[in-house]
A and B are shown apart, each in its own frame.
Chain A
Amino acid sequence: MTDYTVEDELLKFSHEFSNGQAGFFHLAVDPNLTPEQQIESFVAQEQAFIAQVEEWQSQ
């Protein structure tokens, strides 16, 4: 699991996606999810977005 911190009520973590894009991310904390769940959900969603867009751009 990605290391994270909570500062200013934001989840802060870094992540490198499969396309090599890396960055620092700041997410508003969702009280219904643990930080790990929220990061996992966000990364999965973003990865799906990247994969879908890459597929379209290759067509």
Chain B
Amino acid sequence: MAVTISQFTISTTDIFGFSPPALAGFNDVLGTSSINQSEKYLVAFGGNGVRGLYWFANQSLIYFEVYGLHENVGWDYITINGVNYNRSSGTFSRFTVSDNSSFNYPTGGGEEGGPFTRWTWTASSFPFASYAAGSTQAMYVRHSGSMPASGPLSLNTIHTVAGGSSGTSVGLNDSDVRALNWYNTVAGSPIASGGKNEMKEYYYPCNVGENQGYTRRRLPSTTSNSLSYKLASADADIDNASTNPAATIAKCGMTVEFDGTNTRLRYHLLSTGNYIGSGATITLTNQYWNAEASGTGSPQTYSAVTNDAITFEGAQVIQAALLTSQHNESLATGQQNPASTAAIGQSVYNTSGFGETLMSSNSITSFVTTAANTAYGRSFQISTTQGRFNSGDKVSTVDIRFRWALRLLGYSPADRTYIEKDTTLNFMISLRARTYKRI
């Protein structure tokens, strides 16, 4: 029994206007006028955006591309115009493209960019129904599994899916049964005879995105540093201080932690300010944005240091990787006073700032095995400190991009086993620390 994971409709005309078509279908990063707004947000599986589904006549190939770096799992076949193209027979490749993404990335064209995964199949003739102007067609990403996704699941059901006869003798440790376990079919790490083996690991695997409580704004691109898409900001500001010392610190971090029930991807913000004397105004502003949409309007101001960015309900993070980078860094210039070599503007990056276990490898592909009830992540801090003999308006700013890769497994027996092994998520947090001192 096939299960449709996602269905989406694409244009099937030529991207460059040729007839008969030379390059037909949907591509988020080619051409400048072929992409309609809705196509930009097609979802393939697990909440991952479609980068392209197109046919290239010159090479007689169908290309199916999905944003993010994925394992060769997550779906079984894609149906195009009544023909099934099996994932297992497609050519699988992944692309960690540099900086601003793909070749021919058009100005004002594709919005996402960044790393992606591709499958290709041979197709010598036009695979869609029509290339007449304005033609569109529905595409289906499907799974051929026949296990239930939730509810009752009997050993007899597993046995029959494995090819056994209903009502005959079967054990959970039988090799044909174990072959259908999540660790065999999804994780690619088969369990040995007598190994840990639970019924929950046999449910039809759902995709992470199906049960993902999205709450905060994500950066849509792995390459964009646009602050229009920032998740949060911490701003520490001392205004109109006297000639005495004054200091501000803005600090942020992100962590991932499995709390025994859910996996929480969290961000932490802390802004502090201090001065000696009187008459100054300290303003500490921590903000976050809820909506996915871009823009800087309507941020929420809050005081809690720790907040959830995303909660993966009923899922356990078993491995995590984190790539961070600093952008638009501008540290206040000068030294704290003539007798000191300490800079007014300072930064402390890649630290454990909120009690987390530091993920020391700054890599999107170097995974850390995560234990329950332990937060893993990385923190960043900037500061602006003016001494007794300093004066003027001094500002330090930096934007920190967090890029996560998470491997998740369904945890509760009532939940399904998650099929997406590597889900990638991008966030941007900005920091600002300012001290203004009068002479």
Contact = CB atoms under 8 A, between A and B. Distances in A.
Interface of A: 10, 17, 19, 21-28, 30, 42, 45, 48-50, 52-54, 56-57, 59
A25 B94 contact: yes
A39 to B, nearest CB: 11
Given A42-B93, A49-B56, A56-B22, A19 B72 contact: no
B209 interface: no
Contacts of A49: 56, 58-59
A56 B14 CA distance: 11
Contacts of B16: 56-57, 59
Given A21-B102, A52-B22, 7 more contacts: A23-B96, A26-B93, A28-B72, A28-B93, A56-B16, A57-B31, A57-B106
B98 interface: yes
Pairs A-B, 5 closest by C-beta atoms:
A26-B94, A24-B96, A23-B97, A28-B92, A56-B16
Interface string B44-72: 00000000000010110000000001001
Contacts of A26: 69, 93-96
Given A52-B58, A53-B104, A25 B93 contact: yes
Interface in B74-122: 91-98, 102-104, 106
Contacts of A28: 72, 91-93
A13 B16 CA distance: 31
Contacts of B72: 28
Contact of A25 (B58, B91, B96, B104): B96
B103 A50 contact: yes
Contacts of B375: none
Interface string B3-33: 0000000000000101000110000001100
Contact of A22 (B56, B98, B106): B98
Given A17-B103, A57-B16, A27 B96 contact: no
B95 A25 contact: yes
Contact of B23 (A45, A53, A59): A53
Contacts of A10: 94
A22 B106 CA distance: 17
A27 B69 CA distance: 12
A31 to B, nearest CB: 13
Nearest to B92: A28
